[in-house]
Structure 1
Amino acid sequence: MKRFTAPEQWSTQYLTTGAFSDLATLFKIDKLSDWPSCQWFSQYLNAETSQGTAISFVEDEKFADETRYYEQIIFETGQVPTRQQNWHDLFGGFIWCLFPKTKALINHQHIEEIKLHGLKERSKHRNALTLFDECGVVLAITEQSWQQQLRDHQWQQAFVEQREQWGKSIRPFMFGHANYEMLTQPYIGLTGKALFVIVPNDIFCKDLSEQYAYLDQRLYEMIKVDDCLRDNKNLSPLPLLGVPGWWTDNENPEFYSNTDYFRPKRRKRT
């Protein structure tokens, strides 16, 4: 994957491989000649707020005089303020299409936290919701051992020694739209926040859209029932350029020898 040279312009040249390959498969973005409009998303969008109002994307200019907070607008109207020709909001739109139930739940929980604490004070719960929303990567795993390896920063074992298992017993699914935006201008040090989800052994044999639908339901349950985003303790650092298939340089095992990027786990003081 190469760098974008002009992120302000629409280009699909680099949006078809690496971390963007799922978007190319599901949204056919390589067929687009210009930025998707708000209306373009409607063919893929099947989401509603927790109150049952259909979600739609609306040009940000409509809310120029709005005094309500971003999450309040979405919760009360179902309208998502969307800046045109803006990578951050474009990728945010894709995530709404891929994880509609989870996105609506996160929006609802933001509102509940605002009711409790107001807009000035951000609780640990709200910080975790934001961190996952912006930087989250769902690591779907069929074997619990993956979670321990990656939480313990066993990068060589996870990324090199067991590389052939990626796509078989572990698969990454991007949730954080800020991750996508930053990957248009990748740099060493780029790190997401992994949330591990145990999945059935046959999940990766299913159609890609079915995999996303399954994960959307599981995330919804984990956040609503298990309260996994009460704080950020369940979110683990994940060097995004180390994920197999997401960065061509990591095909060379020496790439992982950079301990400034692939840092060892800090020892807890006794």
Structure 2
Amino acid sequence: MKRFTPPEQWQISSLETGAFAHLRELFKVNELTDWPSPQWFSPFLTAINENNIPITFEDDAKVDFGERYYEQVIFETGVVPTRSENWHDLFGGFIWCLFPKTKALINHRHVQDIAEHGLQQRTKHRNALTLFDECGVVLAISESKWQQWLCDHQWKTAFVEHKHEWGKTIKPFMFGHANYEMLTKPYIGLTGKALFVCVPNEIFCKDLVTQYQYLDQALYEMISTDNCLADNKKLSPLPLLGVPGWHDENKDDSFYNNTDYFRAKRRMRT
């Protein structure tokens, strides 16, 4: 996965595109003048891990890992080790605030998988958990056509011909904090993994906080009950720069003519 070295100084201009609109509305990131400390997240945190310990953020350098893996530290102590002045961990903090139940469940699933299979063996389940945690995009949809179009790579149908329906019958919510990190320096080829969540139409009329709460509960049930992340089969490629409103260049419909980025679906031979 492509990673970026964070800048020495806080650069708010990196967060001015449409992809970061939710963070601006809910956390006022556009009003920050410097990197927030790990403790900055405290007023926004409601998460309690599946070991019944409240989630807190602490400076990574001050956390005693011992022989424990990152996910084990979170489960056993409630502490999320957080590197200072680091895009990746900053966005990870926002996701803990926005999807507290789902993040706690994913953490627990990692710990359970490690206990059963050890750290060295990466199971399909743990790979899917990681992929969604890093690169996931929740697509809330009230009509099944969206899943059909996007899974079938009908990009122009979904992104151009029906652009006016985004926000009305489909709405994207970032889950993968690595997506956010890479979108601070967007590049052609940047692709996330979509997970479709069916919602009632009236959800799109609710305020943003209520929408996140609804999706957090829905995701929790999909993972815990339906086992939707048993493997990565439910995750569909999503060109992030093609999402309407997320990238300035896609206002021009010709942007979608780049078939190296907006690739046709590979057909299986029979």
TM-score normalised according to structure 1 size = 0.96
Structure 2 residue identity aligned to 1:131 = L
| CA positional deviation for 1:64 | 6.1
CA RMSD of aligned residues (A): 1.4
Secondary structure of the residue aligned to 2:200 is coil
Q: Which residue of 2 aligns with 1:19?
A: 19
Partner Cα distance (1:48, 1:251) in 2:
41
Matches within 5 A, 1:173-212: 173-212=173-212
TM-score normalised according to structure 2 size = 0.96
- Conserved 8 A contact 2:191-2:237: yes
| CA positional deviation for 1:6 | 7.1
> Are positions 1:34 and 2:34 aligned together?
yes
Structure 2 unaligned residues grouped into runs of 5+: none
Secondary structure of the residue aligned to 2:19 is helix
Q: Which residue of 2 aligns with 1:79?
A: 79
Partner Cα distance (1:222, 1:197) in 2:
9
**Count of residue pairs the alignment pairs up:** 267
> Are positions 1:68 and 2:68 aligned together?
yes
Task: Sort the Cα spacing of 1:8 and 1:66 in 2 relative to 1 into closer, same or farther, 3 A.
Answer: farther
Q: Which residue of 2 aligns with 1:240?
A: 240
| CA positional deviation for 1:204 | 1.3
Partner Cα distance (1:65, 1:87) in 2:
21
Secondary structure of the residue aligned to 2:13 is coil
> Are positions 1:130 and 2:115 aligned together?
no
Partner Cα distance (2:22, 2:16) in 1:
8
Secondary structure of the residue aligned to 2:51 is coil
Q: 1:5-38 CA deviation, whole Å, 9 max, x = no partner?
A: 9734212223243110100000011121111111
Partner Cα distance (2:7, 2:223) in 1:
34
Structure 1 unaligned residues grouped into runs of 5+: none
Structure 1 residue identity aligned to 2:249 = D
Q: 1:144-175 CA deviation, whole Å, 9 max, x = no partner?
A: 11001000000010001001001111000000
Secondary structure of the residue aligned to 1:249 is helix
Partner Cα distance (2:64, 2:52) in 1:
25
Structure 2 residue identity aligned to 1:156 = K
- Conserved 8 A contact 1:8-1:86: no
Query: Greater CA deviation, 199-208 or 55-64?
Result: 55-64
Q: 1:29-55 CA deviation, whole Å, 9 max, x = no partner?
A: 112111111111001000011011000
Structure 1 residue identity aligned to 2:163 = R
